[in-house]
Amino acid sequence: MALFRTYSAALQGIDAHVIDVEVDMYPAGTSRDFVTVGMPDAAVRESRERIKSALLNSGFGYPSKSVTINLAPANLRKEGAGFDLPMATAILGAMGAVGNTENHLMIGELSLDGSLRPVRGALSIAVCAARRGIRNLLLPVENAAEAAVADGINVFGLRHLGEVVKFLNTPEAFSPATAVIGESSATREAIPDFSDVRGQTMAKRALEVAAAGNHNVLMIGPPGSGKTMLAKRFAGILPALTFREALEATQVHSVAGILPAGVGILRARPFRAPHHTVSDAGLIGGGSGNPRPGEVSLAHQGVLFLDELPEFPRGVLEQLRQPLEEGSVTLARSGCTLTFPARFMLVAAMNPCPCGFYGDTTRECRCTPGIIQRYLAKVSGPLLDRIDLQIEVPAVPYKELRGRHDGVSSADIRARVEAAREIQRQRGFYNAQIPPAQLRVLCALDDNGERTLELAVRRMNLSARGLDRMLRVARTVADLDRAEQVSAKHLAEAVQFRNLDRNYWA
């Protein structure tokens, strides 16, 4: 037998595509050639040396013929060392060492001794294989827990090329991996508690509303007022991921290659806090070859925390507009256009001026009005318009710092958040994503509420987008109050969370 075929998969964005790995062997001339075609990258072309050593060191020998490997379809770029295993297995099949591999998809990097190394994107590959009706997925044992989460496919985690050959010849001797799904209490316990925060009642309430409705929030205040402290505790009041949300978030982390070893599926919501020196590609996604997910996608179904917001380059911040509005990022490259999910909650923090003390009653600000204006202008109006809650976090008075805490813990807040989110799940969407067609129905106001809203719009000069976002926040306040209709008091609280436009940017 000279011609043999196995199946593998190539990643594009967070999706995978089945790849036919075809091997043909023919008599060698003066030298034995090893040619790989089908748009392979450098890592795939280098696999010939790994495959030769792995076959020899595993005791299978290497054919005294020239080898041509075709990765089809040829118009799809193939990246990474994950094609080592299917290519080596196809060579063994052409040598007659293994039988039919029609219902098997393989992925894995080979060491020189034949052992398998983990790859990225195993969950996406498992989902793709199940969709194509492929029955078995063979991959490194480190990726087995992750891939086993996918329905409709048997996942086998293997350690060595020799094990792969044994499986293909005697599959009844192996049992498929099982998915382990359950919330890690240790992860939640590792998040600091809101009870540590002294004072800042208004800020705590704003974060509770943000968590309940999946809203974005901006905190502005002097250094040391507790903005970062509050943000780090925010993840502790968020409800656990639903299975669908966990699957989406796990796929992104898997494709990025940062899923912790042995983790089948993420149970805690992602919390990403990039430094203000992050590049465009680092925040939004991109890179050479097939684009990789950026921080906004790694925060999908979780939190993106941007501390010292004006310190980020304005061009980088402006790229947040699309994901904040649409919940996704579309990256166009020559030959392909990829879309990554990016449905996250933005939590941002900033000082009111470069020195940090503008508006502070206890310390003097050294910044001139021009400096302050240029500093605030780094956060543009269109970006600010996409942030639902904008609150001041003032310095905490000494008596509150040294006094007893208010007794409100993360668990107490989380219980109220989960109750409000359950109401929203029954509607089919969170309040931050209420469709425009549903907005008037779900946020209907009585006469008193309409007067309150009209006064707020006139005083704050809100755009149409800002008005809709204020109504969505009012709907969340009503859900926390377990009220059927949005009333004037719910709207008044939402107005309180929208004062920074007028106080700083007007």
405 belongs to a structural domain: yes
- Whether 163 and 202 share a structural domain: no
From 173, 202, 231, give the residue that closes a domain.
173
| Domain contains 445 | no
**Number of structural domains found in the chain:** 2
> For the packed helices 161-169 and 84-94, what is the interaxial angle rounded to 10 degrees?
50
> Do the domain assignments include residue 245?
yes
- Could you report the per-residue pLDDT of 485-499, keeping only the tens digit for each? 998 899 889 988 887
Q: Are residues 150 and 216 in the same domain?
A: no
- Average pLDDT value for residue range 382-396: 89
- d(C-alpha 154, C-alpha 135), whole Å: 6
Among 114, 140, 173, the domain boundary falls at: 173
Co-location of 144 and 192 in the same domain: no
Would you state the pLDDT for residue 501? Answer: 63
Asked if 308 and 357 sit in the same domain, the reply is yes
Query: What is the reported pLDDT for 311?
Result: 93
Local confidence band at 187 (pLDDT 50, 70, 90 cut-offs)? low
131 and 200 in a single domain? The answer is no
The range of the structural domain enclosing residue 58 comes to 3-173
- In the block, tokens 């890592």 appear at 43
Coil, strand, or helix at residue 116? strand
pLDDT score, position 199: 80
pLDDT at 406: 64
- Is the same domain home to 219 and 321? yes
The span from the CA of 88 to the CA of 82, in Å, is: 11
Residue 38 belongs to some domain of the structure:
yes
- Both 246 and 319 in one domain: the answer is yes
Q: What is the 3-state secondary structure (H, E, C) of 423-484?
A: HHHHHCCCHHHCCHHHHHHHCCCCHHHHHHHHHHHHHHCCCHHHHHHHHHHHHHHHHHCCCC
Whether residue 240 sits in one domain with residue 150: no
The per-residue pLDDT for range 425-456, each reduced to its tens digit, is: 999 999 999 998 898 889 888 888 888 888 88
Q: In this structure, are residues 328 and 272 in contact, taking their beta carbons and an 8 Å threshold?
A: no
- Asked if 493 contacts 382 with a C-beta cutoff of 8 angstroms, the reply is no
341: tokens are 């999910």
**Are residues 11 and 124 both part of a single domain?**
yes
CATH of residue 90: 3.30.230.10
Q: What is the rounded distance in angstroms from the CA atom of residue 38 to the CA atom of residue 76?
A: 8
Q: What does the alpha-carbon distance between residue 255 and residue 298 come to, in Å, rounded to a whole number?
A: 10
End-to-end CA distance of the chain: 77
Residue with tokens 């003390």: 357
Say whether both 117 and 225 belong to one domain: no
Q: Is pLDDT above 90 for 50? A: yes
Residue 138 belongs to a domain: yes
Taking alpha carbons only, the member of 117, 135, 123 closest to residue 171 is: 135
Does a structural domain hold residue 153?
A: yes
The set of residues, in sequence order, having a beta carbon less than 8 Å from that of 311 and lying 6+ positions away, is 276
Distance from C-alpha of 79 to C-alpha of 202, rounded to nearest angstrom: 50
pLDDT band at 120 (very low <50, low <70, confident <90, very high): very high
What pLDDT band is residue 226 in, cutting at 50, 70 and 90?
confident
Confidence of residue 242 (pLDDT cuts 50, 70, 90): confident
444 with 486: CB under 8 angstroms?
A: yes
Indicate the Cα dihedral angle 186, 188, 194, 197, nearest 10°. 50
333-351 CB burial, b ≥16 within 10 A, e <16: eeeeebebbbbbbbbbbbb
Domain boundary among 173, 198, 226: 173
Question: 3: phi > 0 → left, psi -120 to 50 → alpha, else beta; which?
Answer: beta
129 and 190 together in one domain: no
Question: What is the reported pLDDT for 100?
Answer: 83
Does position 95 have pLDDT exceeding 80, yes or no? Answer: yes
DSSP collapsed to 3 states, 373-435? HHHHCCCCHHHHHCCCEEEECCCCCHHHHHCCCCCCCHHHHHHHHHHHHHHHHHHCCCHHHCC
How much is the mean pLDDT over the chain? Answer: 89
Same domain, 364 and 215: yes
Cα torsion through 160, 165, 169, 172, rounded to 10:
20
Percent of the chain whose pLDDT exceeds 90: 58
List all residues 6 or more positions away from 111 whose beta carbon is below 8 Å from its beta carbon: 50, 54, 117
- Read off the pLDDT of each residue in 115-132 and give the average, rounded to a whole number: 94
Tell me the mean pLDDT in the region 386-400.
84
**142 by DSSP, 3-state: which?**
helix
Question: What's the pLDDT at 461?
Answer: 77
Beta-carbon count within 10 A of 171 CB: 15
Looking at the predicted structure, is the pLDDT value of residue 182 above 70? no
Q: Are the beta carbons of 32 and 25 closer than 8 angstroms? A: no
Q: What is the rounded distance in angstroms from the CA atom of residue 418 to the CA atom of residue 323?
A: 25
- What is residue 363's predicted lDDT score, i.e. its pLDDT? 86
Question: Rounded to an integer, what distance in angstroms lies between the CA atom of residue 218 and that of residue 351?
Answer: 11
CB-based burial, 356-367: b 16+ in 10 Å, e otherwise: bbbebeeeebeb
What pLDDT digit, counting tens, does each position of 267-294 carry? 889 999 999 999 988 999 887 767 889 9
pLDDT at 153: 94
pLDDT tier at 407, thresholds 50, 70, 90: low
State pTM to two decimals.
0.88
Q: Is residue 116 part of a domain?
A: yes
- Whether residue 337 lies inside any domain: the answer is yes
Domain CATH for 347: 3.40.50.300
Give the model's pLDDT for residue 160: 96
At residue 32, the pLDDT reads 67
Residue 436 exposure: Cα atoms within 13 Å on the Cβ side: 5
pLDDT range class, residue 189, cuts 50, 70, 90: low
Report residue 94 as tokens: 């052409």
pLDDT score of 154 more than 60 = yes
Q: Residue 175 carries which side chain, given as an amino acid letter?
A: S
Edge-to-edge strands of the sheet including 303-306? 271-272, 303-306, 345-350, 217-220, 389-392
Pairing verdict, β 292-293 and 285-286 = antiparallel
pLDDT of residue 359: 80
pLDDT score, position 260: 80
